[in-house]
Structure 1
Amino acid sequence: MPVMLQAVTEDDEVAPALPQRVLLVENSRTFTNMLREAIEQRLELPVSVASSLAEAAELLDREQGWFLVLTGLVLADGARDQVLDFFVSRGLPTVVVSGVYDEDLRKRALQQQVIDYVLKNTPGSIDYLVWLVQRMDRNRRISALVVDDSPSARAHASALLSLYGYKVIQAADGHAGLKAVEANPSIRLAVVDQEMPGMEGVEFTRRLRAIRSRDKVAVIGISGNNDASLIPRFLKNGANDFLRKPYSREEFFCRVSQNVDQLELIGTLQDLATRDFLTGLPNRRSFLEHSQRLLPQLQAKGQRVAVAMIDIDHFKHINDTYGHEGGDQALRAVAAVVNTHARPQDLYARFGGEEFCLMVPDMDEAEVDHYFERLRRAIAGISVELDGQTLRMTASIGVSYLPAQGDSLHHLITEADRQLYLAKAGGRNQVKRLEDQQVA
């Protein structure tokens, strides 16, 4: 998950909730119980079970919010083809789970709108199916770009990506593809043909990498050209993978999924390095890196900057009274208030211990005072229930508000720290601000 330094505000558009229910149709009770338990426990997705087409139809008609079907083909009230037709005709993403490997059946199944054909009696089949459900769930939040000048080839790749749940954006040439990437930050995958007029796939990939790094967008080059130098050229110019035309559906799905998995793994590792585990806020390292890049930009615009240090009052007493779990709850509660209070352009982090730090640009003096006083009151209004006791807390806030020109980040943080000390010494639960006239 990428680091988010911006708070979600009430004005932000909230995406509609996605369907979450999984339908498992299978006549083996043992396998059903194992798979259902694995999906519900690992993915926290609701699973409903049917042992026949009649039961499946009743569930589908009675409940809403289905997004995936896992079905066997040996049911008391339906032949193999009938089972497939039943779910495919309803437009439900369907995975076939079979106890017997039948190459002819596998090919017939994959010729229809079926996501995958999985053998249930092989080692690791439960783990693979759980991964597959998770992959299909996550795909719905990812946009994929297909860049190909051939309408038929573009439509084929787009149809496969849509089947796997991706939101697909199409481009008929490299220039349109680059515009699409710039306009859609949700694009995490690009499937790019080599042979295109005006801009070949290798050149498109090179230009794409100037605006989106490898950890943001995975690029898969495709071509029917047998030139042995094409694969290394794609890879050296920033592609993550390569597919030779014609490719099978299964190979396409495996390559796409592998590359998106790798993107998510990189995001997870970045998150671990830059996000505070306890509160979910960016950590000190992340704050310093982002603010050191932002401050010169604000200075160039002539904007004033407020930097604040926030410290929970009597935090040791909270730990002594409520235990470390109570202290953790206090930190999470304050972090939630800071996250909600901050504007999209503000930077904030848990700085360490019971301290938090904010960088707030482009406010006048009155706005700065109002901003941090509202934050102080919001923290004072926190109420956390712990084993029948009510935990309340306050915080002291020190603010450094100076013209940005010539000030280093270290100087701004140091001055905010001094004001925090004065707020503590002055009785706590207050805001102290360094004003221009206080600067020698």
Structure 2
Amino acid sequence: MSPLPAPPQRPPSGTLPQRVLLVENSRAFTSMLGHEIRTRVELPVTVASSLAEAGRLLERFDDWFLVLTGLVLADGDRDAVLDFFATRNLPTVVVSGVYDEDLRQRALARQVIDYVLKNAPGAVDYLVWLVRRLERNRRISALVVDDSPSARAYAGGLLSMYGYRVVEADDGASGLLAVEKDATIRLAVVDQEMPGMEGVEFTRRLRAIRARDRVAVVGLSGNADPTLIPRFLKNGANDFLRKPYSREEFFCRISQNVDQLELIGTLQDLATRDFLTGLPNRRHFLENSERLLPKWLSSHQPVAAAMLDIDHFKHINDTWGHEAGDLALCAVAASVSGHARPQDLVARFGGEEFCLLVPGLDAANADDYFESLRMRIGQLRVPVGDTALSLTVSIGVCRSGDPSHDSLHQLISEADRRLYLAKAGGRDRVVSHG
């Protein structure tokens, strides 16, 4: 395996660079690709048609994330273009109009992420996907588990080049400990031949603490044993690469598996979250509540269930329109979410109703909790056209303790009854008794 150049250095602050530099002398291509990246990935794109112009732009701004460059420029040949960006340690993708195998090999031997033919069918879509993938990678940690320092450094260098935060471990036990400590690890690249714990066993143990929808595992081995691939897969691996592997194969396999993780996360969000407000939906809330409520009650924690309803919501829709109603729902959802503690369960229950399950508060603190939530929402001013919409809510609260109010159904039903009392009593109030 050939050594890799040093990966680009991350900025010391928590703000990640965003700007994409597109270097190309074809105005039609830069216009089309720049537009697609701006609209579909929502990153700023700056265009240069020469190395001199690119140099001035690099000096002017310091928040460069990625370079997409052609190789036919008026002031530089192919090697000059490659050297120009390699010496500046910038993540670079080469976009070429012709396929040249020798050039492709020379480009990939440097700090170049990919070599893409711009005239190939789907090239623009691929480049947009590539930019999006590289941008998202910067928020993902990747674990490399290999007892060989050189093999570990090679895989880690590739992952760093693709933007991942790399965590290295020289044996299976250290790798498992790293996963337990770092929740941002979403990818593990694992060698089979390691002393103490082989890769298949590491994968089996990893799956006991991280499911397939949390961490993707890619097994590695130079062993020709035909049983190794099915053993890895049956013990929880997502994919397998045989050593030695090419950089392009490594990148494609890694990206495909991370894409699948994100797709699973998107599908889970669609199934568990309310589309409009982003809060958990009723089904997800009830499933989590049924799981957690018995634990809280068995440990003698008081639990308060609350039903919250936006006052005069039909009047808002009828007077201001349904778009204003949606804005009101989102504003209230944001207040509920911002008010909730990490241990609290919240959801949009349906329509203009929200539900909360709040553990660990005695009667006085529970009253303060919901009263402060009511006041917080009452201070909202939702911009609608040239004016601002004020909102109030009514809240019904039921606390555990009464034997007739210790099931989830009983708590929510009683909270709903008290919500009705709050409405009947004039709205804009919390009712926790009666």
Q: Under TM normalisation by the shorter chain, which class is it?
A: over 0.9
Secondary structure of the equivalent of 1:403? coil
Post-superposition offset of 1:38: 0.5
Asked if 1:229 corresponds to 2:227, the answer is yes
What per-residue deviation string (whole Å, max 9, x for no partner) do you get for residues 300-340 of structure 1? 32111111110001111111101111111110110111111
Equivalence for 1:92: 90
Asked if 1:420 corresponds to 2:419, the answer is yes
What per-residue deviation string (whole Å, max 9, x for no partner) do you get for residues 166-215 of structure 1? 00000111111111111111100000001111111111101111110001
Equivalence for 2:318: 320
Equivalence for 2:184: 186
Secondary structure of the equivalent of 2:356? strand
What per-residue deviation string (whole Å, max 9, x for no partner) do you get for residues 244-284 of structure 1? 00000000000000000000001001110111011111111
Asked if 1:409 corresponds to 2:383, the answer is no
Aligned-partner Cα distance in 2 for 1:151–1:387? 62
The one-letter amino acid of 1:263's match is L
Equivalence for 1:354: 352
Post-superposition offset of 1:404: 8.7
Secondary structure of the equivalent of 1:191? strand
Aligned-partner Cα distance in 1 for 2:279–2:62? 35
Post-superposition offset of 1:64: 2.3
Q: Decide which of 257, 264, 267 is 2:265's aligned counterpart.
A: 267
Whose RCO is larger (CA < 8 A, sep 6+)?
1
Aligned-partner Cα distance in 1 for 2:235–2:400? 45
What per-residue deviation string (whole Å, max 9, x for no partner) do you get for residues 143-177 of structure 1? 00000111111111000000000000001111111
Equivalence for 2:195: 197
The one-letter amino acid of 2:318's match is D
> Is this contact kept in 2: 1:147–1:190, CA < 8 A?
yes
> Is this contact kept in 2: 1:299–1:404, CA < 8 A?
no
Secondary structure of the equivalent of 2:400? strand
Post-superposition offset of 1:393: 1.3
What per-residue deviation string (whole Å, max 9, x for no partner) do you get for residues 81-122 of structure 1? 111111111111000000010000000000111100000011
Aligned-partner Cα distance in 1 for 2:297–2:172? 37
Q: Which runs of 4+ in 1 moved over 4 A?
A: none
Taking a change above 3 Å as real, the CA distance of residues 404 and 63 of structure 1, as seen in their structure-2 partners, is: farther
Asked if 1:63 corresponds to 2:58, the answer is no
Post-superposition offset of 1:18: 1.0
Equivalence for 2:381: 383
Q: TM-score, normalized by length of structure 1?
A: 0.94
Q: Decide which of 94, 106, 109 is 1:108's aligned counterpart.
A: 106
Q: Identity of paired residues, percent?
A: 73
Aligned-partner Cα distance in 1 for 2:14–2:160? 19
Aligned-partner Cα distance in 2 for 1:403–1:235? 49
Secondary structure of the equivalent of 2:415? helix
Equivalence for 2:8: none
Equivalence for 1:302: 300
Aligned-partner Cα distance in 1 for 2:200–2:255? 22
Equivalence for 2:238: 240
Aligned-partner Cα distance in 2 for 1:332–1:130? 31
Q: Decide which of 358, 370, 373 is 1:372's aligned counterpart.
A: 370
Q: TM-score, normalized by length of structure 2?
A: 0.95
Structure 1 unaligned spans of 5+: 1-14
Aligned-partner Cα distance in 1 for 2:72–2:401? 74
Q: Decide which of 210, 213, 222 is 1:212's aligned counterpart.
A: 210
> Is this contact kept in 2: 1:304–1:404, CA < 8 A?
no
- RMSD of aligned Cα (Å): 1.2
What per-residue deviation string (whole Å, max 9, x for no partner) do you get for residues 13-65 of structure 1? xx822111000000011111010000001111000000001100111111121
Post-superposition offset of 1:391: 1.3
In the alignment of these two chains, the number of paired residues is 421
Show the 5 A alignment for 1:2-81. Answer: 16-81=14-79
Taking a change above 3 Å as real, the CA distance of residues 44 and 210 of structure 1, as seen in their structure-2 partners, is: same
> Is this contact kept in 2: 1:303–1:403, CA < 8 A?
no
Aligned-partner Cα distance in 2 for 1:389–1:228? 70
> Is this contact kept in 2: 1:303–1:404, CA < 8 A?
no
Post-superposition offset of 1:389: 2.9
Aligned-partner Cα distance in 2 for 1:385–1:189? 42
**Larger mean Cα displacement after TM superposition, 209-218 or 381-390:** 381-390
Show the 5 A alignment for 1:144-183. Answer: 144-183=142-181
Aligned-partner Cα distance in 2 for 1:403–1:211? 35
Taking a change above 3 Å as real, the CA distance of residues 119 and 300 of structure 1, as seen in their structure-2 partners, is: same
Q: Decide which of 111, 124, 128 is 1:130's aligned counterpart.
A: 128
The one-letter amino acid of 2:81's match is V
Secondary structure of the equivalent of 2:195? coil
Secondary structure of the equivalent of 2:65? strand
Equivalence for 1:3: none
Aligned-partner Cα distance in 2 for 1:60–1:377? 50
Structure 2 unaligned spans of 5+: 1-12
